[in-house]
Amino acid sequence: MAKSKPDARTYSARGDTLISRQPVLLTRYRAFTRCNHWLTAVCMFALLLSGFAFFHPSLYGLTALFGGGQVARWIHPWIGVVLALSFLGMFVQMWRLNLPNRDDVEWGKKAGHALRGNGDQLPEVGKYNAGQKAVFWGMSLSILLLLGTGLMIWEQYFAQFISIPVQRVAVVVHALSALASFFLVLAHVYAAIWTRGTIRAMTRGTVTGGWAFRHHRKWLRELAQRAGRIPTEK
């Protein structure tokens, strides 16, 4: 005869009681940072869609999303300026946290476990892992190239200062940088969807303690030490 499971009173008698049903929550991004992120994201998608429309005739229909070809051609560079300024705001806030360190080398060696969902096999990391840092610096470089080459080929204001041969090179570099940005954005979105609980950080600004323990344990430990929940390591 199978034994019945002990009820709540049995556990209470042993000293095991449920303290709270609510998970531990940690603030990961402020409201300003989240707005900054979503403004950058909207600008990036608008640039990619309008840029693809100019890239090949078969994609020209995408200009309808912006009110037609003339409007899309006019608004595309201005969206680029907004993107550059918006990403600059993110860069100022995050560049220090994305500096490479020894943890990134170890994480990179075992990055395959992240793709297979074996997070327990990965080394402890701070607020960002090596993959996130690679996307951050890749986006920084590609946006810098997009801005520089975009200004070179902005005929309305800068054509008279740039020679035709330089503009031709700038167009190629601009297209390649846009393509690199597309794949970086794709990787970023895929990772956010694949890692359950990540999108919450950029919509609500918080993550659960369990999420932080699984994916960014060193960051969780630093926050706990700062709050005095655990002793500071000497």
| Sequence-separated (6 or more) residues with CB below 8 Å from residue 105 | 130
Q: How far apart (Å, rounded) are the C-alpha atoms in residues 68 and 61?
A: 8
The catalytically annotated residue of 76, 174, 188, 216 is 188
CA dihedral 188, 193, 197, 198 (to 10 degrees): 10
| Sequence-separated (6 or more) residues with CB below 8 Å from residue 92 | none
CB 40 within 8 A of CB 87: yes
Which secondary-structure segment (H or E) carries 153? none
Residue 37 among the catalytic residues? no
Please identify every residue annotated as catalytic: 188
